[in-house]
Structure 1
């Protein structure tokens, strides 16, 4: 596995980070804030932020930003963490990512009632990935991002099919791969590297053995996982 793939898999498994922007009010000082995020199909972070927030004002003034993602641990210095450095800007198409975002963060639906929340995307420039003590790497954006695939156009259909017809498989995935016995399960998203399932109150990440680029490859990978989970 390349360092870029390892970094991408790490960031996909988390859903909150520290957004650092360059303060407009305090003349260039760094400004940090907690934000939830999802990734688009090119593995670029998408955040939903309000025009009233300081970090939004900062980004609109200076696009340079970073997102720090940290693995929960009792020993924070020994656990994995990643800082994605890039340029943040408001998405021109605000409706494209909304359904995907709300599958992960349904509580955000009410934010759109105020008319001042917008999606921003962070375009990676460089990534600092600390996978553990002594396992430290700088990763260029080209070695982190994935090639364009056809999964984005088929994702909604794949999710609907899995959640309507293969709920038992989703429960088996949770039990086999995460030792989680869940009652309420639903696939949230599927991508080049794997997929996410809401299992009761948890969001569980599942990685494919090999990347998938379209609906046919995704189906084959899901069938293989279903067969393994029944052994």
Structure 2
């Protein structure tokens, strides 16, 4: 329950009645933590007695109040506000709203920090997943790059091999061309030799024909009786001349 408004709004916390020693101990802890309003340092509590009782641990000790409120209605104000009202079954502790709100702010800050921590963990896990994906992509890119380099090297080796084969083919082509030229020259020479041989054969045949004609003329003269005598040698020569004449005509016909 909140009493009053403004900077000094008062928060009343209703607690179940507990043994007096526990109350004393709690009051001492609240005082050490500065959670009790500064107004309590006035005439409301005998703090020396409370500290002594709290350190002694007396179970029968009771809170010493300088002001005990008997009535149900308590006037609310900054100057006459009691800090503790002790009754048989209840105890009311009056706390400054600033410190109470501060504790609420601390709780909210803790919750915010926990939520922020959870969000950071989620973001960190997400970033971890992204990092793993990036690493996998990097490894995949490295593998693809290595494969591309290997393929490039293989292509270069194949290109070098093809270049060597092409050079060998060109060399063979040049050799074949040279052989073709040599064959053409040899063919020309053979044609020239054949033509020369034919011309020589023609000349020889012509000379042979002339000789045969002369021999034939002699044979004709012999057959006509121009040669006197029956000499056997002359007759043999005449038959030989006739044979040579026939062969000469055959050669002339072939040419």
Report the TM-score, using the length of structure 1 for normalisation.
0.17
Report the TM-score, using the length of structure 2 for normalisation.
0.16
Q: 1 or 2, which has the higher helix percentage? A: 2
Q: 1 or 2, which has the higher strand percentage? A: 1
